Amino acid sequence: MGIQIFGSEIDSMRQAAEIAEAAGPDLVDINYGCPVKKVACRGAGAGILQDIPKMVSMTREIVKACQLPVTVKTRLGWDDQSKYIVEVAERLQDVGIQALSIHGRTRAQMYKGEADWSLIGAVKENPRMHIPIFGNGDIDSPEKAVAYRNRYGVDGIMIGRAAIGSPWFFREVKHFMATGEHALAPGLAERVDAVRTHLERSIAWKGERLGIVEMRRHYANYFKGLPDFKPFRTALVTLDEPEAVREVLDGIPAHFAGAEFSGPVAE
C-alpha cells in the first residue's frame, strides 16, 4: 500500500513525505498528475508540469527525506506544446524515483479525448530508462488492458475511473490476462455487500450527511446491467437517512431474485 501526497511547496512536501512514511506504507507516491483546478492552479498536481526544474528539485528532496521507495504519477505535459515526458522521466529517474506512472493526457485535456499511449511507450522504450513504467488512461475493459500492455511494453497498468463502482474490475482484468477468457461478473449478493461496505465506510469517514451524498454517484455503476433498477436508484439518491438507505439495499436481493444482468454473472 502506498500513500500519495501532493503540494506546491518543497519544504511542505518534504515534511508530508516524512509524516506519510511514519505511517508505515510500502511506498510514498508523488501526485504530479491531478488536473482539477483547485489543485493544478495552485502549482500542485499537474500544475507543476509548468515548472519542470521545480518538479525535479521537489522530487529530489522527497527522495532524500524518505527511506522508503518514492514513486511518481504524472501526465504527458501541461498542454500539447509541452509534452516533455520522455525527458522528464529520465530526470525523475536520475534523482531517485523507483517507478513512474504516466497518464496519457496533458493537463489541458483533463479527461477529454483519447489517452495517447504512444508517448508512454516511448518512455518505456528509452534505453536509458530502467525503472518500471506504468501506463494509465482509458483502460475500461480487460481486452484493452491486455492489448495496451502488449503494444506498449509497459511493466504494469494503472486503473482509475473504470474501477469506480466496480471494484471487481481488477480481478476481471487479471483473470483475462491469465486465461484469455472473461471472468463471470459479480452476482447480486456480492454487489449489494460491496455497496453496504462502501456506504458504511463513507459514513464513518465523512459523517452521515456527506457520506450519504457522496455515495449517490456510485449506485448506477454498482448495479449496472440490472434491469428495471431505476426506482431503486431513485430512492437511493434521494433518501437522506442512513437507515432508510440500508432498508432499500436490504430489499434489493429479494426483489431481483432471478433477474439477469446484461452479461455473464456469477452465482
Question: Which of the residues 17, 28, 30, 34 is marked catalytic?
Answer: 34
Range 134-150 burial, b when 16+ CB lie within 10 A, else e? bbbbbbeebeebbebbe
* Mean pLDDT of each 10-residue bin along the chain, 267 residues long: 96 96 97 94 94 97 96 97 97 98 96 96 98 97 96 96 93 95 91 96 96 94 90 95 96 83 49
pLDDT at 262: 58
d(CA 137, CA 59): 23
DSSP letter (8 states) at residue 50: G
Structural contact between residues 86 and 120, judged by C-beta atoms closer than 8 angstroms: no
Residue from 76, 177, 72, 180 nearest 132 by CA: 72
The per-residue DSSP string of 166-201 comes to -TTHHHHHHHHHHHSSPPPBP-HHHHHHHHHHHHHH
Rounded alpha-carbon distances, angstroms, from residue 14 to 6, 21, 32, 254:
10, 11, 15, 53
Pairing outcome for strands 156-158 and 2-5: unpaired
Write down the CATH superfamily of domain 2-138. Answer: Aldolase class I (3.20.20.70)
Q: Does 34 qualify as catalytic in the annotation?
A: yes
How is residue 147 written as a grid cell?
492489448
The Cα 204–Cα 201 span in angstroms is 5
Backbone torsion region of residue 63, taken as left when φ is above 0, otherwise alpha when ψ lies between -120 and 50, otherwise beta: alpha
Looking at residue 259, what is its pLDDT?
67
**Nine-digit cell at 20?**
506519510
Domain limits, the chain: 2-138, 188-255
Q: Which CATH number fits domain 188-255: 1.10.287.130, 3.40.50.720, 1.10.1200.80, 3.30.450.20?
A: 1.10.1200.80
How much is the pLDDT for 264? 46
3-class SS of residue 105: coil
| Integer Cα distance of 86 and 124 in angstroms | 9
Euclidean distance between CA atoms 105 and 112, whole angstroms: 8
How far is Cα 59 from Cα 158, in angstroms, rounded to an integer? 21
Res 257: pLDDT: 81
Dihedral angle at the C-alpha atoms of 56, 83, 113, 41, nearest 10 degrees? 50
pLDDT the model gives residue 267: 36
Q: How far is Cα 145 from Cα 105, in angstroms, rounded to an integer?
A: 17
